[in-house]
Structures are given as structure tokens and as C-alpha cells.
């Protein structure tokens, strides 16, 4: 073998080594690309699963939210049908109170639990439950269709999770078939009775307190100054007054008026609306405001939605009382 042949053989071996190293580097690069693609695919699938999970969670929440919304709409209107209005402004003010309390009540309750209990409580609640559940499902199905369209168009939008106006209109058309005339009549009468009982009780207590003060004053006039009997009759008058003001039982409506009145004194925003001077309450406005709140309470009670509506309203009154 000549020197040239040897050099040629060595060059070929070097070429083979370099070629092998190149191929190995290329294969390593391809494997790295494949691994990177796999990682991207894992991330993509995880992201898709996460988005699907979030979407399904939103859809589930939408179903419950729509159900509560339809309940709130219906029972707000039912309560409004029991009230009287002076003008449109008065109607809007009262509706705001009723809707706020009704929404607060339904928002705190589990939708599945309401569906189950309403279906078995009474024919009236079963009918309302059926209509509200039907339209909650319609809203969910429409949202699913919109989600699928968003996937095709490769867009992401929260607008799909909203209740459309046509669905609300159709809901009202269907829910009107549920007869609530007797309930409306009963709620209105119970609220009127509670308010009248409060007025009668207030006037009676006021008259008795005046009578105690007058009798005590008349008696003391005939006693000598410094007589121990003066102190006796004054203490007796105080005890009689406390017996009237510190009742062992206070009706719910009366307790509501008294509680709200205390809140008016404590809360500046309420004071501006429910006081005629720095020291004098606007008792008529307070009573009327409480009648609206009591109507919601009586609606929950009369329709058998809530067995202990006083507890719910007590919580609302507490929140009002503690507004800074």
C-alpha cells in the first residue's frame, strides 16, 4: 500500500467518523425537537383541559345563577303585587328594596337543594320550580352552543354566560300561568294586619305612658315637698313605664320598626332619609319602609319557601345596623 493509498484510507475513516457524528447530532436534534413538541402538546392539552374545566364550571354556575335569577324575578314581582304605590318613583324605590332582599335570600341558598325541596313542598312551588328550572336549562344549552361556536371561530368570550332578553320574556310568559292570586291576597292582608297592630299597640302604649305620667304628677302635687311618698310614686311610675316599653314579647313587625329606627340614629346615610330633624324620626317613612321589608318576609313565609324567615331578616337588619 502506497502512502497515497494510506492517506486515502485515513481520509475515508475520518469522513466516516465525521459523517457518523453529524448523523448522531442530527438525530439528537430531531429527538430534542420531538421532545419539545411533546412538551408543547402536553401543555396544550393541559391548557385545553383547564379551559374545558373552567368552562364547565361556568356553565354549571350559569345554570344555578339563571335558576336563582328567575326565582328572584318571579318572587320580586309577586311581592310587588302586594304593595301600593304613590307614583313611579315610589314604585322603583320599593322594587329596589324588594329585589335586593329577595336576591340576597336566594343567593344564600343552594340551588340544588331548592330544586329538591320546592318540588316537594307545595303545588305552587313545584310549578314555579318547574318553570325556573326549564329556563335555566334553556340558558345553559344556549351557552353550550355558543361555546362550541366560539371554539370553531377560535375566540373566547364571557358573553356566552349571560341570560338573553328573549329568554326572560319567554320566562315571564310561562310563569304568568302559575296562579298566585290567593297568595297575593293573603300576603297583602297579613302585612296590613301587622302594620295596623303595630299602630294600635304604639297608640295604646303612648296613651298608657301619658296616663302614668299624669296620674303620678297629679298625686305628687298633693304630697308635701320632701315626703318619702314622692320618691315612692315616682319609682312606681318608672316601673310601670318599663313594663310597657320592655315587653316580654314583641311582634316581628314592631321589632323590625324599632330595630330600623335605632339603625337610623346610628347611620348617617339612613338619617338623611328617615329623620325630619336632628332629633326627630320620620316615623311614617320608617313604618312604610318596614312594611316593604316585612312584605318580603311574609312572602317567604306564606309561600313556604322559608320556614324561619325571621332569621334571614334579622341578619339583613343586623347588616343595615352595622353600616358605617
- Sketch the domain layout of the chain as residue ranges: 3-175, 181-321
Residues in the chain: 324
**Cell numbers given for 5:** 493509498
- For each of the chain's 324 residues, which pLDDT tens digit applies? 555 554 555 566 666 676 777 677 777 777 777 777 777 766 666 665 666 566 677 776 788 889 999 999 999 999 999 998 878 888 999 999 999 999 999 998 999 999 999 999 999 999 999 999 999 998 888 887 877 776 655 545 556 657 778 888 889 889 988 999 999 999 999 999 998 988 887 777 677 667 666 666 666 666 656 566 666 556 665 665 566 556 656 778 888 888 888 888 887 778 888 888 877 888 888 889 999 999 999 999 999 998 777 777 777 665 555 444
- For residue 195, give every residue at least 6 positions away whose Cβ sits within 8 Å of its Cβ, in sequence order, or none: 253, 287, 291, 294
Catalogue the long-range contacts made by 134-137 (C-beta closer than 8 Å, 24 or more residues apart). Answer: 134/174, 135/66, 135/70, 135/167, 135/170, 135/171, 135/174, 136/63, 136/64, 136/66, 136/67, 136/70, 137/63
- Which of 305, 308, 298, 296 has its CA nearest to residue 77? 296
As beta bridge partners, residue 281 has: 275
Q: Are 285 and 297 in contact (CB under 8 A)?
A: no
User: In the chain, which residue ranges form alpha helices assigned H by DSSP?
Assistant: 3-80, 88-107, 111-121, 123-153, 165-175, 181-221, 228-245, 252-266, 268-274, 283-302, 309-321
Amino acid at each position: 500500500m502506497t502512502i497515497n493509498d494510506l492517506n486515502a484510507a485515513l481520509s475515508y475513516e475520518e469522513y466516516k467518523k465525521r459523517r457518523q457524528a453529524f448523523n448522531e447530532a442530527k438525530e439528537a436534534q430531531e429527538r430534542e425537537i420531538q421532545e419539545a413538541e411533546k412538551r408543547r402538546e402536553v401543555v396544550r392539552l393541559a391548557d385545553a383541559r383547564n379551559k374545558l374545566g373552567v368552562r364547565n364550571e361556568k356553565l354549571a354556575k350559569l345554570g344555578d345563577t339563571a335558576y336563582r335569577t328567575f326565582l328572584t324575578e318571579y318572587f320580586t314581582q309577586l311581592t310587588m303585587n302586594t304593595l301600593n304605590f304613590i307614583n313611579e318613583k315610589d314604585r322603583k324605590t320599593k322594587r329596589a328594596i324588594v329585589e335586593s332582599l329577595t336576591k340576597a335570600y336566594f343567593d344564600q341558598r343552594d340551588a340544588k337543594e331548592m330544586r329538591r325541596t320546592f318540588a316537594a313542598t307545595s303545588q305552587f312551588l313545584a310549578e314555579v320550580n318547574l318553570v325556573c328550572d326549564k329556563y335555566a336549562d334553556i340558558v345553559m344549552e344556549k351557552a353550550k352552543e355558543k361555546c362550541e361556536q366560539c371554539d370553531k371561530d377560535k375566540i373566547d368570550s364571557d358573553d356566552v354566560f349571560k341570560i338573553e332578553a328573549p329568554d326572560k320574556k319567554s320566562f315571564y310568559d310561562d310563569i304568568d300561568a302559575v296562579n298566585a292570586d290567593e297568595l297575593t291576597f293573603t300576603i297583602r292582608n297579613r302585612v296590613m294586619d301587622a302594620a295596623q297592630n303595630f299602630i294600635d299597640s304604639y297608640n295604646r302604649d303612648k296613651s298608657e305612658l301619658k296616663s302614668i305620667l299624669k296620674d303620678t304628677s297629679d298625686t305628687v302635687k298633693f304630697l308635701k315637698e320632701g315626703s318619702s311618698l314622692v320618691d315612692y310614686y315616682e319609682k312606681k311610675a318608672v316601673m310601670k313605664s318599663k313594663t310597657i316599653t320592655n315587653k316580654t314579647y314583641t311582634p316581628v313587625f314592631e321589632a323590625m320598626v324599632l330595630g330600623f329606627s335605632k339603625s337610623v340614629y346610628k347611620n348617617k346615610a339612613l338619617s338623611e332619609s328617615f329623620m325630619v330633624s336632628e332629633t326627630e324620626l320620620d316615623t311614617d317613612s320608617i313604618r312604610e319602609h318596614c312594611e316593604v321589608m316585612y312584605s318580603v318576609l311574609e312572602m317567604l313565609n306564606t309561600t313556604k319557601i322559608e320556614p324561619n324567615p325571621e332569621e334571614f331578616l334579622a341578619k339583613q337588619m343586623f347588616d343595615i345596623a352595622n353600616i358605617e
